[in-house]
Chain A
Amino acid sequence: MTLLKCNNLTKTYGNVTALSNINLQIESGHIIGLLGPNGSGKTTLIKLIAGLLSPTSGSIYVQEKPLGTVSKSLISYLPDHSYLNDNWKVQDMIDFFEDFYKDFDSTRAYDMLEKLNINPSHKLKTFSKGTKEKVQLILVMSRRASIYILDEPIAGVDPAARDYILEIILSNYDENATLLISTHLISDIENILDEVIFIQNGTIHTHASVDDLRQKDHKSIDALFREVFKC
């Protein structure tokens, strides 16, 4: 069964076309990099899949069902900004996630918080931007979801913590699940990717396996990205 399918997906904002006629099929058990320059349509595509935007035309299916409460229970989504109530404590957010998501594992969340020295009894507003991002990532990765969609998960985190964050992502990722990661920081995540989707001006430029691309072009994904999106 196809995990995620986008058919002729188009999104326009007034006269501006953010995404044009996207056809995409994603299977289970892959780590996919959604790569593209600023304004290429990465976040728009992710928000459409997460159900936060409605497409101008086209359709999206998760496990062959249209978006709805079932797809929301299968997708674990991390936005590219803070989306939690700053006045809440981390432990309140854990209770919240546990209440709404059947697949949420609070023990796993508390373990990761401890490793990153984040006190769960502190309010979110007392944390720095980077720590808030870590908390969000921990919440999202503590679910046993079918699809994890991470929009810029390491952008606001210092380079020293990036490795640990990637470790969090990988250690919590179930082999049957699929991980869709959008980022500019290709070199940091290149080694964990199975597939890449290059997105340019709202269309898919390339969707291929990392091994195939490396064999074909004899270049790293980072180098290939710089070549494709050269200004």
Chain B
Amino acid sequence: MLGKLIKYEQKATYKVLTIINFVIILLTLIGAFILNTNIFNNSESIPLAILLVIFYSLSLIAMGIIIVIYLYIRFYKNLFTAEGYLMHTLPVTPLQLFHSKLIVGYFWTFLNSLLMILSISTLGFVVGYHITKVEQLNFIEFFTENGIQLSEKESFAISFQKIFGYTPEGFVILLLILLIVSCFSSLLMGYLSILLGQLVEKYKLAASVGFYIVIYIVNQVISSFIMILPNLKFMISSIDNTEFFISDFYKNLLPLSIITQLLLGIIFYFMSVLLVQRKVNLD
């Protein structure tokens, strides 16, 4: 039955979500095209370039938010409004209903985040490619450690490691793991808020929004603490070695974020599982 639920969940959501992801691909292609032209080579185009970068960044953020909100609304509408009368009278368990939404929602949020990272990376590579073309450098060397031989032009990889404390490949791998984990926790944060809202007798939707804000703040506070605490000793001891301090801070940032989001995701999951198995009370 879970497979059937997933099939229909996918069927009900794929159109909107495909369009949003397609827009990201389109933005990337347009961005890559613009960056590969010479229109930014004169100083007069800088304001336009800044505007375009802002537009691109805001569009990506908006796409991410729209997808998550769409999935939250779908979860709420399909399970706790008129459509809930159909879903909750199907011969399936509440856990199967929940898991079908979680699996499909996770697929889309992960795909969306992956596309965003690919989009930013693509544009980064296009910029790099353009610089190497203008400066007559070797494109591959520019992005690898061998690029150090290019004397005054330090390679991208070396600069990256100096600043962030990771090799670009290591960074991408950790970022992917963070993505896998944070998509899970952020999706569950919304689902859990909606399920908590159902415990309230009146104004369930408003209560869900309230729970979301509270969980969001708690999440931010916990994440900040976990990230700041291990770095305190460096803040004290290496205060005069700024470069080392920054790279060390970034070095800890991703693994700690991964652990925090994983733990929160697990907590959100088990709380949601407990709540979803309670008997429903549809208005």
Contact = CB atoms under 8 A, between A and B. Distances in A.
A54 B279 contact: yes
Interface stretch (B24-32, B36-44, B60-68, B89-97): B89-97
Contacts of B86: 83-84
A75 B89 CA distance: 8
Interface string B65-103: 000000000000000001111101111110000000000
Interface residues of B, number: 23
A84 B8 CA distance: 13
A220 to B, nearest CB: 33
Contact of A54 (B1, B8, B83, B280): B280
A53 B282 contact: yes
| Candidate in B83, B88, B91 with the most chain A CB atoms within 10 angstroms | B91
Given A53-B282, A99-B4, A100-B4, A73 B91 contact: yes
Given A53-B282, A54-B280, A85-B12, A72 B82 contact: no
B201 interface: yes
A14 B202 CA distance: 10
Interface residues of B, dominant DSSP: loop
Interface in A164-212: none
| Candidate in A50, A51, A88, A100 with the most chain B CB atoms within 10 angstroms | A100
- Sorted nearest first, the 10 A-B pairs with minimum C-beta distance are A54-B279, A73-B91, A83-B85, A72-B91, A52-B282, A79-B85, A83-B86, A69-B91, A99-B4, A83-B82
B151 interface: no
How extensive is the interface on chain A, given as a class? Answer: 20 to 34
B242 interface: no
Contacts, number: 63
| Candidate in B7, B12, B90, B93 with the most chain A CB atoms within 10 angstroms | B90
Nearest to A88: B12
Nearest to A11: B281
Contacts of B201: 13-14
A80 to B, nearest CB: 10
A69 B280 contact: no
B121 to A, nearest CB: 35
Contacts of A88: 12
Given A72-B92, A87-B12, 12 more contacts: A13-B201, A50-B85, A52-B89, A70-B91, A72-B90, A77-B89, A81-B85, A82-B82, A83-B84, A85-B12, A88-B12, A92-B11
B282 A69 contact: no
B12 A52 contact: no
A198 B39 CA distance: 80
A50 B89 contact: yes
A52 B89 CA distance: 7
A101 B91 contact: yes
Nearest to A139: B86
Nearest to A74: B91
Nearest to B85: A83
A13 B281 CA distance: 10
A68 B93 CA distance: 8
A65 B208 CA distance: 34
A96 B8 contact: yes
Contacts of A100: 1, 4, 90-92
Given A13-B201, A47-B282, A52 B85 contact: yes
10 contacts: A50-B85, A51-B88, A52-B89, A53-B280, A53-B282, A54-B280, A69-B91, A70-B91, A83-B86, A101-B91
Interface string B247-283: 0000000000000000000000000000000111110
